[in-house]
Amino acid sequence: MSGRVVARNGFPEERPSRQINVILRSSEPPVVSQPQTQESEGQQAAGAKGNSQQQNLFHELQKELDGLVGLDHIKEFMFEIFALLQIAAMRSEAGLLSDPQVFHMVFKGNPGTGKTTVARIVAKMFQRMGVLSKGHLIEVERADLVGEYIGHTAQKTRDLVKKALGGILFIDEAYSLARGGEKDFGKEAIDTLVKAMEDQKNQFILILAGYSDEMDFFLATNPGLPSRFPIQMDFPDYSIDQLIQIAEGMVKERDYILMPQAILKIKQHLLREKCETEHLFSNARYVRNVIERSIRQQAVRLLQQYSGGSPGKLELMTIRTEDLKLEKK
Ligand SMILES: Nc1ncnc2c1ncn2[C@@H]1O[C@H](COP(=O)(O)OP(=O)(O)OP(=O)(O)O)[C@@H](O)[C@H]1O
């Protein structure tokens, strides 16, 4: 057994007990540090400081990912990549081959299941791990890629790929590019993207996102595509308990608290709403809207209740059942 402390999601804890240091750089794969006998003490100290800053940034992202409710398979996947890159560095130190992998992905799931949030974190983590040079996310949809005349689409798409270099190009509802068939300009966008994946290999990551069934159909009807996207991730709907956990996390990070009766009321409402709207239910985004609306209602209530005076700190933090406006919008 190694002495590494492994967190719940599989990543090493912040202070690993083993002796190997991982250097996380912005444009190269992580490398394993070796004792540098010729380096001056000053250089070593500066290097160690930079390395520990990089590691801290990486651990912050790791915490952000771990802080997301559920999504265990995605947390495990990120650890796989982390392990792969460390071992790749060790292999090249040992003179062994370590081919770069293809990281283009398909994210499948209903609205509000965390696809964009995860993509944003993955972009930054990949930058820290040396897979991407910048780690930004460019989020687009059909209208951003498709133009109005022949040649316009290819130009628009190439411009967006250029913007995404060093980061992730995230295409929401990617299947809408295929909706008009062969004659539609969407086809031109797909062809341009495929060409960019060849020409700018390893310079950006493409993530196609959308509803599961539509994504499956899109991939099945474009036979050239599936093999270009070796990583497919499912984002399942959150359970009611997970949605409540998400709600509690959202109020906590905004310095509010939900009264137990308010939690119960949200729970009952979510059960009803989820059942009625099925795959249109927007999961964590729905919860976020409920919370933000309640915060506005609480402000109105407090202003009316304390006209002239100021509510105490606890009152400023508390969201009560009367602050929840949960009727259909
Ligand atoms: N697991 C989670 N834990 C905490 N918050 C979450 C989680 N998943 C999503 N959220 C929050 O829900 C909101 C919507 O998430 P996000 O935009 O990532 O969903 P999406 O799947 O990309 O939706 P869409 O497909 O409609 O664009 C964001 O505020 C995000 O922070």
Residue-level pLDDT at 101: 84
Report whether 294 contacts 323 (CB < 8 A). yes
What's the rounded Cα separation, in Å, for the pair 107 and 234?
6
Q: Kindly list the averaged pLDDT for each block of 10 residues, start to end, along the chain of length 329.
A: 41 38 36 40 57 70 89 90 86 87 92 95 88 94 86 90 96 86 78 90 93 90 86 94 96 96 95 87 95 96 89 95 79
> Residue 268: which residues within 8 A CB-CB, separation 6 or more?
none
Interface predicted TM-score (ipTM) of this complex, two decimals: 0.98
Strand partners, 233: 107
Let me know: does 208 contact 244? Beta carbons within 8 Å.
Answer: no
In sequence order, the 6+-apart residues with CB closer than 8 A to the CB of 129 are: 24, 29, 30, 58, 81, 82, 85
Contacts of 259-263 with CB under 8 Å at 24 or more apart are 259/318, 259/319, 259/320, 259/321, 261/320, 261/321, 262/294, 262/319, 262/320, 262/321, 262/323, 262/324
Contact (CB, 8 A) for 266 and 320 = no
- Give distance in angstroms: CA of 116 to centre of ligand 1: 7
Query: Of all protein residues, whose CA lies closest to atom 18 belonging to ligand 1?
Result: 114
Q: What are phi and psi of 257, to 5 degrees?
A: -130, 150
Determine the distance separating the centroid of ligand 1 and the alpha carbon of 164, expressed in angstroms.
21
pLDDT of residue 323: 95
Give the pocket of ligand 1 (CB within 6 Å): 68-71, 109, 111-117, 172, 235, 246, 249, 284-285, 288
Contacts of 280 (CB under 8 A, 6+ apart): 110, 111
CA torsion through residues 184, 155, 136, 22, sign: positive
How far is Cα 171 from Cα 191, in angstroms, rounded to an integer?
Answer: 14
Ligand 1 atom nearest to CA at 114: 18
- Give CA separation, 162 vs 159, 167, 175, in Å: 5, 10, 22
Pocket-testing residue among 285, 286, 291, 292, ligand 1, by greatest number of atoms within 8 A of Cβ = 285
Domains, the chain: 1-33+40-99 (no CATH), 101-236 (3.40.50.300), 240-323 (1.10.8.60)
| Distance in Å, CA 288 to ligand 1 centroid | 9
Q: Which residue has the tokens 């007990």?
A: 17
Angle between helices 283-305 and 240-253 (to 10 degrees): 50
- CA 234 / ligand 1 centre spacing (Å): 14
pTM for this predicted structure: 0.82
Cα gap 193→177, rounded to integer Å: 11
